[in-house]
């Protein structure tokens, strides 16, 4: 695991909640990942979250648990907390 991690930061997308059938969740995760890869200034190499969980209880592996996330707003926060997206 990330040796410097002290906890987990749970994120949400900040958009309106729209429930969806679980068959659409993987496409939603891919769309979030592509948004990060297309970001003009962040230089993301992957989705910024370690893990993504959906409303159906499924867990999608983002960067995985051994990688520093990019979603917590700064290098020290990213070194200290895993980033998990609660997908909605």
Site residues (CB under 5 A) for Zn ion? 22, 25, 54, 56, 58
Task: Tell me how far, at minimum, the Cβ of 20 lies from Zn ion, in Å.
Answer: 7
Task: Tell me how far, at minimum, the Cβ of 62 lies from Zn ion, in Å.
Answer: 15
**For residues 86 and 13, what is the distance between their CA atoms, to the nearest angstrom?**
8
Helix ranges (H only) for 1-88 are 25-37, 75-80
Q: What does DSSP assign to residue 54?
A: -
Rank residues 58 and 86 by Cβ distance to Zn ion and give the closer one: 58
**Beta pairing, strands 59-61 & 7-11:** unpaired
Rank residues 19 and 43 by Cβ distance to Zn ion and give the closer one: 19
Rank residues 30 and 56 by Cβ distance to Zn ion and give the closer one: 56
Task: Tell me how far, at minimum, the Cβ of 63 lies from Zn ion, in Å.
Answer: 19
Tokens at residue 38, please? Answer: 């297309």
């Amino acid at each position: 695991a990330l040796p410097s991690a002290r906890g987990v930061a749970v994120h949400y997308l900040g958009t309106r909640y729209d429930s969806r059938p679980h068959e659409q969740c993987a496409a939603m995760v891919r769309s979030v990942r592509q948004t990060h890869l297309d970001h003009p200034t962040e230089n993301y190499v992957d989705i910024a979250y370690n893990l993504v969980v959906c409303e159906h209880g499924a867990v999608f592996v983002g960067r995985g648990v051994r990688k520093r996330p990019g979603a917590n707003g700064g290098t020290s926060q990213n070194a200290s907390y895993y980033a998990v997206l609660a997908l909605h």
